[in-house]
Structure 1
């Protein structure tokens, strides 16, 4: 009898520990690697237009979902009139969605429209996508918030990508406030990535980090500076997340492929 009681007590001690080790709701945790990168229309600090080295960088990172900024689509001779988001999607065998924040008529009738904006690449199907234009001052350049709904091995992920204005603090603050309004308080696990053109102590960034966690401050090592790529002195590229994502690492790979450096982060998606 004493042996039986000992066994029963042991089982009671083990069961709670097993339950605690299970992810919330009994669902399996899902690893997710994410990159954000302002690609400067594919032009590096060496002046070379080279989409292939950006594609290799993405492959090497192992990123599952990528937010790109400053992406051309038939935009200009500077990028050889290439449809860059389609090129990356084909090269990397990924799904993609494109947000044209600037959308101009073609140079010649019958040619594609000239577009400039942000792109989302994903190893997983993009179920839904929308781009909302953000506040713009009279002398500003139109910016937007692109939001994709992605199903990651049975879990819902809301992935948002943006590029806030670079030259007006008040305009950028209004854009950040609009981003918070648009993202709202959804219970769906949410990632906001992008070139936010301000450092972590700026009011516009604090507006965002009041509702979303700054991945770099949680798991990054060092300053995490992303610009200028040859000698980075500022951290203006961010990955911000909701509680449904748990970050495990964050790095800033060194590359000459753009005037920015990318940010790559690993998460567990619950």
Structure 2
């Protein structure tokens, strides 16, 4: 889908975008271009991956002022340093009226450092728990990481929950068993590589009480070249 359509009143639009540290297919680091793509999603909540640079102290690749002034989004306070906007590269961007009420930073096992953010949010359309993550490159690591996420959720009070992120799984259906039966996995479309998408690495998974009305990838305008991933989006409603 070239760009997201208008959402229904009362729905919550969520999105996920691997920013690739704001380096586009032209190998230029351009946070302004990324901010324009983010603004075009018209999302309430966006989970982002690779928002910070790789080497310590991991300064943000997307300056706060650019994000706020050009995308109209505020970074949720998930970072543990003053120079980053993310944690293990994962960030949460919130539209006006949304706020974070609680946060759990969950380190994930694996060959390389990974993590997940479990954030309780509230906004004009109600309350929402978001799990934002970027899983590992090896399936056995991803399996352990999803199992860890589920264990953490089992210790939390019930809430409408959506999992968003770059799950790094090339198979259309296999590899997600640890999320069953709590989550229903959704495939908004192929998102990687951005120039000629072949795999749906970026996914949405909804827990009980949430329904996906519509979803897709965004290839409109600069979204096709601002990162090596395309952004994905989904409109959610509370079911019943």
The answer to whether residue 24 in structure 2 is matched with residue 52 in structure 1 is: no
Q: What is the TM-score normalised by the length of structure 1? A: 0.72
Q: Once the two structures are superposed, what CA deviation does each residue of 1:114-164 show, in whole Å capped at 9, x if it has no partner?
A: 97511001120111222110112xxx2110110111112262210110000
| Matched residue, 2:74 | 95
Matched ranges for 1:125-140 at <5 A: 125-136=99-110, 140=111
CA contact (8 A) 1:250 1:265 kept: yes
The answer to whether residue 155 in structure 2 is matched with residue 207 in structure 1 is: no
Structure 2: gaps spanning 5 or more residues: 1-8
Structure 1: gaps spanning 5 or more residues: 1-28, 104-110
Q: What is the TM-score normalised by the length of structure 2? A: 0.81
- Distance of aligned partners of 1:259 and 1:209 in 2 relative to their CA distance in 1, 3 Å threshold: farther
Bigger helix fraction:
1
Matched ranges for 1:12-23 at <5 A: none
| Matched residue, 2:19 | 39
The answer to whether residue 219 in structure 2 is matched with residue 245 in structure 1 is: no
Alignment: residue pair count: 221
Q: Max radius of gyration: which structure?
A: 1
Give the superposed CA RMSD: 2.8
Matched ranges for 1:223-238 at <5 A: 224-238=189-203
Aligned-partner SS, 2:51: strand
Q: Which protein, 1 or 2, shows the higher relative CO under an 8 Å CA cutoff with sep ≥ 6?
A: 2
